[in-house]
Homo-oligomer: A and B are copies of this chain.
Amino acid sequence: MGSDYPPSLRCGLPGLILSLETAFILIFWFCFSNESGSTPKDLDIYPAFQDVNVLMILGFGFLLAFLKRYGFSSTGFNLLIAALGVQWAVLVEGFLFSSSAGKMKISLHSILKASISVTAVLISAGALLGKANPIQLIWMAMVEVAAFVTSRWINVKFLKVEEHTSLMHVPIFGTYFGLAVSWWLYHSSLSEKVEKEKSNPISDLFSMLGVLFVWMFWPSFNSVLIVDLMERRNAICNTYYAIAVSAVAAFALSSLSSRNGKIRMIHIHHAALAGGVALGFSAPIIPHPWIAMILGLLASMVAVLGSHCLQTYLNSVLKIHDTCGVHYMFGLPGLLGAIVNVILFIIIKRANLSSLGYLALIEVGSFMLTTAIGLGTGFITGFILTFKLWKTLPASKYFDDQAYWEFPHLAYRF
């Protein structure tokens, strides 16, 4: 361990967590109760809810575990901010969306929507992986959930975006929020990849495990909130075709873009998921599998090319360090999906020409608004997170579990 010890979390972390939990419990006490009534309508979604839960807790947790000395923090802090974020998201959702008088009713549906909202935080945390301490992550989760739910509320109330579509903005919002925060946490030492920022074969296999879980359950993620059963079925099938094509294409594009035709694991991770992200908006309305397949192929290209060409640019010119490459995994494919969705929307509704321009404008405005709110609130949050008050880590301690975790063994040797 170097000479500059990382600041102890003892004074900050327990206090912060316990006050937040106390506040949450009090708010739940006064404002929320379990939905009651004769028949629960939400038990049907329980298997799909568990798919989303596995995707979040296990998938994202292990997906982020690719850094060779940061496996505990990747999986542990992912659990921490997911579990904390869901409680907070249920509260914010309740206050913004509930209209009934008296205590607000919460159900499995509330937890599901909260879980999907929290995915934004998990994606942002990917961009900050190894650089932010748990105190910063918790504050970020609080602000980001509030900002995302508010952005969703504006979309639903004023732009009349459907509930499912509004939640599918989550990858875009999470990415740009995370990148904006990451700009503030930039440090000159990040311009070169340090030894600790690399993966090793075992950590990459753990990461593959997470990626496969996210990959397998992305059809559930894209479909679980769709009410119409036919549309839900189409969303499942279309997402499946898209991720199948994007996973296959990832191998081709990775081999094509590397020096000697070898495949890079990181490309597979990025591009395999890109297809599912790109389908987020349009999965239920795509009428033919081939459209989903082409979208999957394009998303895979965007992910690999972005990762190959943009990464150095972002890092050196814009001074944005994106540890996990969420920009290529979620951001760009999400934008691609949003654009394709507008085009599909125009084609499908072209009969009704009078209001077409107006509606298309709303669609475009909707995701641009989300991106803007993400960037804006992320920028402010990033500034706040640089305060010394949050026990910010010296850059020499980045990417290292030893800053936060007590090891029973002396040397951390993989």
Contacts and interface: CB of A to CB of B under 8 A. Distances in A.
Interface of A: 8-11, 13-18, 21, 24-26, 28-29, 32-40, 42-43, 46-48, 50-51, 53-54, 57-58, 61-62, 65, 71-72, 75-76, 79-80, 83-84, 86-87, 106-108, 111, 134, 198-202, 204-206, 208-209, 212-213, 215-217, 220, 229-230, 232-234, 236-238, 240-241, 243-245, 247-249, 251-253, 255-256, 258-265, 268, 272, 286-290, 293-294, 297, 401, 404-409, 412-414
B409 A233 contact: no
A209 B209 CA distance: 10
A199 B18 CA distance: 29
Nearest to A231: B40
B290 A28 contact: yes
A70 to B, nearest CB: 10
19 contacts: A8-B262, A10-B258, A10-B260, A13-B251, A14-B253, A14-B255, A17-B249, A17-B252, A29-B288, A43-B236, A58-B216, A83-B245, A83-B247, A107-B233, A107-B237, A111-B237, A201-B407, A202-B414, A260-B406
Contacts of A286: 34
A205 B248 CA distance: 27
Contacts of A290: 25-26, 28-29, 32
Q: Name, among A43, A255, A286, A293, the residue most crowded by chain B CB atoms within 10 Å (CB to CB).
A: A255
B205 A10 contact: no
Contacts of A54: 216
Nearest to A74: B205
Contact of A293 (B25, B80, B201): B25
A248 B21 contact: yes
Contacts of A15: 252
A287 B414 CA distance: 47
B265 A33 contact: no
Contact of A406 (B50, B258, B288): B258
A201 B54 CA distance: 23
Top-9 shortest CB links A-B: A10-B261, A17-B252, A8-B261, A40-B233, A14-B252, A262-B406, A83-B244, A28-B290, A29-B290
Q: Name, among A8, A28, A33, A263, the residue most crowded by chain B CB atoms within 10 Å (CB to CB).
A: A263
Contacts of A201: 71-72, 401, 407, 409, 412-414
A400 to B, nearest CB: 12
A289 B106 contact: yes
Contacts of A245: 21, 24-25, 83, 87
A13 B262 CA distance: 10
A291 to B, nearest CB: 9
Given A287-B34, A409-B199, A248 B80 contact: yes
Nearest to A275: B83
A208 B36 contact: no
Given A28-B293, A108-B236, A212 B18 contact: no
B230 A40 contact: yes
A72 B297 CA distance: 22
Contact of A13 (B11, B17, B71, B255): B255
Given A79-B272, A290-B29, A249 B21 contact: yes
Contacts of A134: 251
